[in-house]
Chain A
């Protein structure tokens, strides 16, 4: 049994050698997932997830995979008509044939009736003949692979099973003919198919037309010059076959199975459903039609989900808005103990200053630094639960020990002894139970907090290649040296000048000197709850940011630059969190292990994160140091108390927060670091609908109102001043990798 994932890269190359442009191979199981959406610019090929052949030899299975891929890929090399051309034919409908073609097409594309199966059979036969002429060895391999797929028992069931509503003794002769020709084309021996079909009784109403129908279809599926044929020819032949069948059926005054035979469509569907999975995929050369159908259903589903989700989000943020105005005393905000598990799991705590009301308050924000592999921050409930369980365990251990001591005490009498033993054992079993619960809860937490990212490996290869190209060559010639390689031209100049009586300097050597980039950069990622917004069906803003940061790290690696990646979020001044995803000297593998563990939650206190990143990069020895800040550029966090305690509290938001961010950046600049801001604006497209009577709550409007109320105006101008020229706003997050690449190259090469 071979899995598709094993052979995909091979198949891709094989398919590309046919098509000449990028191919994506999709397994049947991933149909309808986001992978489909990502393959819009590629030629799509569909293969089953698992193939099992009769002889279950790996070789045959791989050959079958090859065959499936080649049959689809060959659509390009052997002049398939594109969908646009097909629709053109439908629109034209000038000639009689055009009308008939259009009819067949309508049937095959929209309703997937018998005619589509017939068309596929003829078309596949055409392609098989082309391949046999073009690549004889490959054709033999394909036939071998397909014959491994032919499972007589399965097909047997599919044929003997008769559609409902038909009396015993009737069979659809057209189905049988198609079945026979189809498998014959696939390289199954005539005898094997014959043995199967001869056991099916003749349709008594049609009489002995079986041979005739099969013969006609066989004749139509044979192309005398396959290279000069095209998809159109297959279409034409389908029309001819349809007319032929119609005539026979009319002679017997029966309705043609092609047109008015609902049972026929049902039957084909059933045939497809019941025959093996592989056969089904072979039959569906019209893969796009099916994929689109699935996609539409899927999309509408997701849209509904999304709508409900955004409703929940809106509620949550309005709650957050209202709660952020509540007063919290300073003592409560500052004197919270550090997260219980932080120290144990290798994290550290440090305090950073913050600008409040124009005053720089030292040690104002407490920062917890996490290494995600070793430990993750817990939510309040999780923490409470874990502490509770640990407390129980401690209590039970104590009880257990106490009783154990008594058991071992010498003067203890027999009755006491047994009682103590009982108590000790019960405490022990209880403790073990709780320990098990704790273990499963930790495991469950780790599992649920992981979110896989799918890296586009071909893209990574492309990035590496591009960066290799633009990487400055490692060495440069330095002339006029006093030692090194002899520079012959300069030597003769020197020689001539000495002959002429001069006394020139003997600097006629040249040297190769290393020219190396000396760039270090920190990528600072905002992972607050706002990045949980969905961008595509499946992926959120944070997923995009994660991917972009990985590509960035790969590119920087190739250029031999140093990169660190830091993410941050937080919940108030006492619980600001920093996640070091990649240190300067760590490999990308570690980054890949940490990225899935990163979650988008809580608020963002940008100022302290920037200060942390500044500290981080200041100590790294490099000539050019760049600090990239990626986020929505709207710092917001819980309130803090204004020092002095007289004026009450103030939320970390709006202009107040921005001035803190501004201060943090100017500090960075004084350390010689180049800040670069990439703002992912969440601005949605303007709503073109007219406002309703009741109106809808618009968060952006609310935020604007609040800012006005507070008397500060946040505009891009302030941020632009902050970053000078180095500021970009993007509304489409999918562009992030491109923007980041441009930004990095501009800044680091200038």
Chain B
């Protein structure tokens, strides 16, 4: 179980706010960034903020669907990590670490958990597990060195995606000094922002933007954008805007990041979003 006293986490931006927003809106979250940036620490910290147990699965090449769902052995049924996290009645934080390392096909079993169904069909055991309202799925991967073993676009498009960059030097100094002290949890500056709900979501603009991206993907011959955003992404972005996130930030984490990790493309796609949003 997670030990509050020994974890130091200093947020770099609004990642905690967005993570909490995802938890409230019941959306799965993906953390991307270089290695050693604090992705895992962040998840540990988040589980303490939300006060939910953390169930972790570190994915490797040998991770199988059965490891997540569970398997029937001669002496009975054994839960996998996903099933065991779902059995927490009050919800849990289910963390798939290094998603890119796993074989892409193994991960499709959790697809039903990432959309609005939020269920897991464990047919082998004859049951359908439904996630409680407080259950949350987080995954992380490092696109830089996992290029060869890429996350499938169909999986990537299911997550609100946060890019965590290297911290600025001032912040990094602070992190290092805090870690050396190592005995206290940093709570200052860490407050979950109280967003004002936005009842006026610009739905027509969002749909127009999605169509622009799809048009861009048509011409992907020359840029390498794999596909346009699906309606699910548009819905989720609208939800985030409705929750109170700024429009451009919501579009970034909800639509642009799930589609690409190429920084050049991200700038270009933000430009396109700026056609309609400030």
Contacts and interface: CB of A to CB of B under 8 A. Distances in A.
Interface string B29-73: 000000000000000000000000000000001101010000111
Interface centre among B64, B224, B269, B271 (most CB of A within 10 A): B271
Given A20-B218, A21-B218, A485-B66, A9 B268 contact: yes
Given A461-B224, A491-B74, A13 B272 contact: yes
A13 B224 contact: no
A590 interface: no
A475 interface: yes
Interface string A4-29: 00000111111011111111100000
A21 B214 CA distance: 11
Interface in A371-418: none
Interface centre among B74, B103, B221 (most CB of A within 10 A): B221
Interface in A42-94: 42, 66
A311 interface: no
Nearest to B213: A17
A85 B274 CA distance: 34
B225 to A, nearest CB: 8
B261 interface: no
Interface stretch (A135-143, A179-187, A561-569): A135-143
Contact of A13 (B72, B73, B150, B223): B223
B197 interface: no
B267 A10 contact: yes
B219 A20 contact: yes
A16 B64 contact: no
A10 B268 contact: yes
B181 interface: no
A42 B103 contact: no
Nearest to A20: B215
Interface string A454-481: 0000100110010010000111000000
Given A17-B272, A135-B276, A468 B150 contact: yes
Contact of A14 (B62, B105, B124, B271): B271
B264 A137 contact: no
Interface string B244-278: 00000000000000000000110111011011111
B62 A512 contact: yes
B212 to A, nearest CB: 4
A743 interface: no
Interface string B160-184: 0000000000000000000000000
Contacts of B267: 9-10
A66 B271 contact: yes
A22 B276 contact: no
A22 B265 CA distance: 15
B86 interface: no
Nearest to B224: A461
B275 A138 contact: yes
Interface string A122-146: 0000000000000111100100000
A17 B212 contact: yes
A488 interface: yes
A136 B274 CA distance: 10
Interface centre among B61, B215, B219 (most CB of A within 10 A): B219
Contacts of B212: 17-18
A9 B222 CA distance: 10
Contacts of B213: 17
A488 B64 CA distance: 15
B110 to A, nearest CB: 19
Given A135-B275, A138-B276, A141-B274, A12 B268 contact: yes
A364 interface: no
Nearest to A69: B271
B106 to A, nearest CB: 10
B210 to A, nearest CB: 11
Interface string B190-221: 00000000000000000000001101101101
A137 B276 contact: yes
B148 interface: yes
Contact of A42 (B124, B222, B264, B268): B222
A22 B216 CA distance: 9
Contacts of B218: 20-21
A491 B74 CA distance: 9
A13 B216 contact: yes
Given A22-B222, A138-B276, A475-B103, A488 B271 contact: no
Interface centre among B215, B274, B275 (most CB of A within 10 A): B275
A246 interface: no
Contact of A485 (B64, B103, B221): B64
A299 interface: no
A15 to B, nearest CB: 9
A236 interface: no
A458 B264 CA distance: 13
Interface string B102-113: 010100000000
Nearest to B209: A17
A601 interface: no
Nearest to A475: B103
B241 to A, nearest CB: 15
A321 B253 CA distance: 68
A42 B222 CA distance: 9
Interface in A162-202: none
Interface centre among A13, A136, A461, A473 (most CB of B within 10 A): A13
A560 B148 CA distance: 9
Contacts of A66: 271
Contacts of A485: 64, 66, 71
A474 B64 contact: no
A535 interface: no
A610 B226 CA distance: 41
B263 to A, nearest CB: 10
A13 B265 contact: yes
B137 to A, nearest CB: 25
13 contacts: A10-B264, A12-B268, A13-B223, A13-B265, A16-B216, A17-B272, A19-B215, A20-B216, A21-B219, A66-B271, A461-B223, A486-B71, A486-B72
Closest 6 CB pairs of A and B: A13-B268, A138-B275, A461-B224, A22-B222, A20-B215, A135-B275
Interface of A: 9-14, 16-24, 42, 66, 135-138, 141, 458, 461-462, 465, 468, 473-475, 485-486, 488, 491, 512, 560
Given A17-B213, A488-B124, 4 more contacts: A12-B223, A137-B278, A138-B276, A465-B226
